[in-house]
Amino acid sequence: MIEFRLPALGADMDEGVLLEWKIGPGDRVARGQVVAVVDTSKAAVDVECWQEGTVAELLAQPGERLKVGAPLAHLLEPGEAATPKVGAGGTASGRRAISPAARRLAAQYGIEADTLAGSGPQGAVTLEDVERARAAQPVAAPQPTDRSAAIRQTIAAAMTRSKREIPHYYVAEDICLGRALDWLGAYNRDRPLTARVLPAALLLKAVAVTLMAYPELNGTYRDGVFRPSPTINLGVAIALRQGGLVAPALLEAETMPLDTLMRALADLVARARAGTLKAAELGSGSVTVTNLGDTGSQAVFGVIYPPQVALIGFGRSVERPWVEDGRIVVRPVVSASLAADHRVSDGHRGALFLRDLADRLQRPEELKP
Amino acid sequence: MTNENLRADVIAALQTVAPEIEPAALAADRPLRRQVDLDSMDWLNFLIALGKRFTVEIPESEAARLVTLDDIVAWLAARRPPP
């Protein structure tokens, strides 16, 4: 028997509301299949199941508020036979009997349905029980009703945790983008708009490839232990138009050719804005990049997204005087910064990383494959 | 198609990437990107939406000249087929 649990949805999202099941009892589930849609404060998230099997029982009802790690469904492993249920009325997981409507209403009121006394058959919790509990509740703190307020709260929680727990250090480097932008301009010249590659994608590719030699900047720190990530799951900070931001990851960005990375980035931005991200994208970032782009400030020093250990920031690229071969020339220059976790790495390594990144951006043609 | 209609269509394309904009609040002679706060990806998507809506190719060299709403309307008006 496989217990399918609500996967991590990113450091700042520790719970979600089940919106919809995409599967039902008896359905076969393939690895990676989207099985449910869960609403977090930031977006509706498609939740994938990474185990193969047949659905034996759904444990959660639409409308229910669930913590990360909460059991969602029981799946039979391939070849496993269904076991008969123990007794009628009770559930295999030993949870309280409660009607879906009552559970939904309880979730709406912010009441823990499983803590209520049931007056229905076999102690089942009914709608009346929920209404009674609601009437007995002291006036609760106002719940954030609009999404912007909820997003603000989750960002506040994650960033407060980051600044409380992570001893940040910061290093910065000005990087000349003259060669990179010339090369990209030539690369784009004869391409249709739909195949165009933005400087943002080139910067992301350069970061991903450079990080491969710096495992201490790519991974997660939990319970006093740093775990480097075998792949570069590159989180990308994306501003949402209603305010706030979300940082879903381009999984295995180091393996993507530049064109692929650009299309994946465009897709990720579009889905972040539309609120249709996947759980794996929100929960498995190993490092994050924030790029203020050409309408932002000149430099940015980021706050690390826990449990990650590093954040790379790019400011707006501007034309500046630059010394090349002993002469002063005008070049587009971007300020790159690294905020990293001093429990895992030191400023010396961080500085080496930025220098390596700068060197790599002087050979943009190598970033294409 | 009059320039007024063109303008309405350009704004409709803009609303595919920035649904919340107030068309009346846009200054037609000021840089559009900063008024609407579009990043490079949004802007690219807007240009792609324009290309689709008006069935025109916007070459890389021309894209850089499309800065204000007026620029865009004039550029499209010069390319529309004669009546």
Distance CA(A22)–CA(A46), nearest Å, equals 10
A276-305: average pLDDT: 92
Q: What is the pLDDT of residue A286?
A: 97
Residues 293-332 of A with CB under 8 A from B: 293-295
Name residue, tokens 């989180």.
A235
Has domain A149-367 been given CATH number 3.30.559.10? yes
Quickly list H helices, B1-83. Answer: 3-17, 32-36, 40-54, 60-63, 69-79
Q: Do B48 and A193 touch (CB under 8 A)?
A: yes
β-pair partners for A57: A74
pLDDT tens, A226-238? Answer: 999 999 999 999 9
Q: Give me the residue from B19, B41, B57 closest to A192, CB to CB.
A: B57
Residues of B in contact with A194 (CB under 8 A): 48
Query: What is the amino acid identity at position B74?
Result: A
CATH 2.40.50.100: which residues of chain A?
Answer: 2-136
The larger pLDDT score, comparing residue A295 to residue A306, is at A306
Q: In this predicted structure, which of A63-77, A254-268, A346-360 has the lowest mean pLDDT? A: A63-77
Residues of B in contact with A189 (CB under 8 A): 60-61
- Give all domains of chain B, ordered by start, each with its CATH number: 3-79 (1.10.1200.10)
Distance CA(A204)–CA(A202), nearest Å, equals 5
Query: What is the amino acid identity at position A32?
Result: G
Q: Could you tell me the pLDDT band of residue A94, with boundaries at 50, 70 and 90? A: very low
What is the mean pLDDT, run by run of 10 residues, along chain B of 83 residues?
83 87 88 88 90 86 88 88 63
Residues of B in contact with A270 (CB under 8 A): 45
Distance CA(A7)–CA(A68), nearest Å, equals 6
Q: Give me the residue from B20, B47, B63 closest to A241, CB to CB.
A: B20
Q: Can you name the CATH fold of A2-136?
A: OB fold (Dihydrolipoamide Acetyltransferase, E2P) (2.40.50)
Residue A269 pLDDT more than 60? yes
Q: Do B40 and A199 touch (CB under 8 A)?
A: yes
CA torsion through residues B18, B19, B22, B24, sign: positive
Q: In A276-287, which positions are buried (b, 16+ CB within 10 angstroms) versus exposed (e)?
A: ebbbbbbbbbbb
Distance CA(A247)–CA(A288), nearest Å, equals 7
CA of A256: how far to CAs of A154, A196, B44, in Å?
31, 16, 21
Question: Taking phi first (over 0 means left), then psi (-120 to 50 degrees means alpha), and beta for anything else, what does residue A32 get?
Answer: left
Q: Could you tell me the pLDDT band of residue A90, with boundaries at 50, 70 and 90? A: very low
Q: What are phi and psi of A190, to 5 degrees?
A: -105, 20
Q: Give me the residue from B41, B58, B63 closest to A269, CB to CB.
A: B41
Q: Give me the residue from B37, B40, B51 closest to A193, CB to CB.
A: B51
CA distance to partner chain B, nearest, from residue A270 (Å): 9
Q: What is the pLDDT of residue A11?
A: 64
Q: Could you tell me the pLDDT band of residue A116, with boundaries at 50, 70 and 90? A: confident
Q: Helices A199-211 & A347-360, crossing angle to 10 degrees?
A: 130
Distance CA(A283)–CA(A270), nearest Å, equals 18
Mean pLDDT of chain A: 87
Q: Considering only alpha carbons, which residue of chain B is nearest residue A296?
A: B39
Cis peptide before A364 (omega within 30 of 0): no
Residues of A in contact with B19 (CB under 8 A): 241
Q: Helices B3-17 & B69-79, crossing angle to 10 degrees?
A: 120
Quickly list H helices, chain A. Answer: 100-109, 127-136, 147-165, 178-189, 199-211, 258-274, 279-283, 347-360
Residues 6+ apart with CB under 8 A from A306: A11, A158, A161, A162, A165, A166, A221
CATH 3.30.559.10: which residues of chain A?
Answer: 149-367
Residues 6+ apart with CB under 8 A from A79: none
**Token pair for A285:** 């970032």
CA of A88: how far to CAs of A84, A85, A121, B27, in Å?
10, 7, 12, 68
pLDDT tens, A145-202? Answer: 577 788 888 889 999 999 999 999 999 999 999 999 999 999 998 888 889 999 999 9
Neighbours of A176 (CB within 10 A): 20
Interface confidence, given as ipTM, is 0.82
Name residue, tokens 């990293």.
A340
